[in-house]
Amino acid sequence: MYIPFWSRLRLAPRIGIVIVLTLVMTMATDELLAKLVGMPDILFFERDWLVDAVAEAALQAEQTDPEAWGVVLESVPASRWLDFVESAEQPITNQWAQGAFGRIRDDLAERLGLPSGAVLLRAGHTEGPDRALTPVVIILESIPTLISDLIEDDTDKMVVEHLRIAVRLSSGGWLTISPKSDGLEAARFIRNLLVPIAAILLICGLSIWVARSIARPLTDLSAAAERLGRDREPTLLGNYGSPELDAIAGSFNEMQHDLKRFVDDRLQMVAAISHDLRTPLTRLRLFAEYLPDEEQRRMVLADIRDMEAIVSSTLTFASQQLNKESAETVDLAALLISICDTASDAGCRVAYDGPDHAPIICQPVAIRRAFANLIDNGCKYATSVNVVLEVAVDSIRVKVSDDGPGIPPEQVDAVLRPFVRLEASRNRDTGGSGLGLTITDEVVRAHSGTMTFAPATPHGLEVTVTLPRVA
């Protein structure tokens, strides 16, 4: 959705707004959940009143038939704020044995005439009523008092939740006293669990949204640069709704046009020069035919053939770059078999191994030229060439290996550059313009494929071309 105000903002204020928005939404979510499930009650108990209420309930339970405990204990005045539950097994383990809570336990035991071990008291520190699950109990030594003094007293805090007091009865059973519950403990637990989850989801969602708005232009820029390097076709970047990103996209688009214009102009110039050289070379060939010395005539005609090969390769290279043919479905297996048969007819030992049919979408003329260059190179510098075709679900792999001198690994990058000829294997006897592998590499990269070089066994060169089934 297009928002005029947002599209005019730079990245820094956008990130700042998103951070503030995340905080506001997190706080709003916290408040909303707190309103849906309110905080528990906060009960203020005077210490002596609590001791008297627990002692009275215990005495009532001692004097009452266990079957009537429920009715009798509900009539205790403190039942308005406290729950009384009887059980046969010990309900809790003692936690507070010292300090103010220890004194409460001792006072209860003394009031009831019981040993200290017959009165158990357990409670948990609270982080505040907004996160508490059960009622928060504040036990005051006396009234009046300042709550701030009580809260700041780290030595003997008596602000707790999950308060439970258990008294052992003479019958062997136990009476457990706890603050009266409103039954929303599970809802508050879910609320406390949802608050951080909601905060994490909000932070992650807005962070991913901002990150994607920044990363998407970078991804588009990378893809456009890769395509420009592969087939020299500009990929215009769109409007990203940000001044900085739009400026980068505009500059990159202009650079693509400039680069394409620069390369096309140079290729046009190279093609024109190569084309114009054909006429003088033809005249030189005619003159060379009339040289009286046979050895001189042979040497001059050989030089002219080399120059014609260079001119022809250069024209092919420039034409391929300037005029991109349309892609269509081609039977690569039949094409390779045809190239191998042609090379065999020319006297080269070429063997093909692979299926009879392998359809692929490609530029047929360019692909034929690329594989013809690889097989011709093998025929020039080796005694035998093997072509292997392997078909996978989403790709096709062609391996062209020979038993020639090979190419040293450190010179692979150099041999792919235009007009580079390796001294160890290329000489005037074998000919070549140094454009064969360059043209092949350009064709393979234009089809989103890869070409790798490896030593063949026991010696020679193995070139592996991997092409996607859909170019």
- The 10s digit of each residue's pLDDT in 280-314 is 878 887 877 778 878 887 888 877 777 777 777 67
- Identify whether residues 160 and 288 lie together within a single domain: no
**pLDDT on residue 351:** 92
Q: Is 208 within the bounds of a domain?
A: yes
Q: Express as a percent the part of the chain with pLDDT over 70.
A: 83
- Identify whether residues 289 and 209 lie together within a single domain: no
User: Considering the entire predicted model, what is its pTM?
Assistant: 0.48
- Identify whether residues 299 and 331 lie together within a single domain: no
- Identify whether residues 320 and 337 lie together within a single domain: no
Give the mean pLDDT of 360-388: 88
Q: Is 226 within the bounds of a domain?
A: no
**pLDDT on residue 3:** 53
In total, how many domains does the chain have? 4
Cβ atoms 347, 380 nearer than 8 A:
no
Q: Is 227 within the bounds of a domain?
A: no
pLDDT value at 155 more than 50? no
pLDDT value at 320 more than 50? yes
Q: Which two tokens stand for residue 5?
A: 């105000």
CA angle 464, 466, 470 (to 5 degrees): 160
The amino acid occupying position 10 is R
- Identify whether residues 54 and 178 lie together within a single domain: yes
- Identify whether residues 85 and 208 lie together within a single domain: no
What band does 180 get if pLDDT is binned at 50, 70 and 90? confident
Residues 413-448: tens digit of each pLDDT: 777 776 666 644 444 444 455 677 888 888 888 888
Give the mean pLDDT of 41-48: 84
Show which of 308, 324, 340 is a domain's final residue.
Answer: 324
Q: Is 225 within the bounds of a domain?
A: no
First to last CA, the chain: 34
- Identify whether residues 428 and 333 lie together within a single domain: yes
- Identify whether residues 371 and 344 lie together within a single domain: yes
Residues 56-89: tens digit of each pLDDT: 888 888 777 766 666 667 777 788 888 888 888 8
What band does 135 get if pLDDT is binned at 50, 70 and 90? confident
Cβ atoms 102, 49 nearer than 8 A:
no
Give the mean pLDDT of 383-402: 91
Cβ atoms 175, 61 nearer than 8 A:
yes
Show which of 274, 307, 324 is a domain's final residue.
Answer: 324
What band does 398 get if pLDDT is binned at 50, 70 and 90? very high
Which residues, including other chains, have CB under 8 Å from residue 279's CB and lie 6 or more apart? none
- Identify whether residues 256 and 273 lie together within a single domain: yes
pLDDT value at 152 more than 70? no
**pLDDT on residue 2:** 44
Q: Which two tokens stand for residue 358?
A: 């392998």
**pLDDT on residue 64:** 74
What band does 148 get if pLDDT is binned at 50, 70 and 90? low
Return the minimum-mean-pLDDT range out of 6-15, 141-150, 202-211, 238-247: 141-150
Cβ atoms 446, 363 nearer than 8 A:
yes
Domain of 333 in residue numbering reads as 325-468
**pLDDT on residue 173:** 82
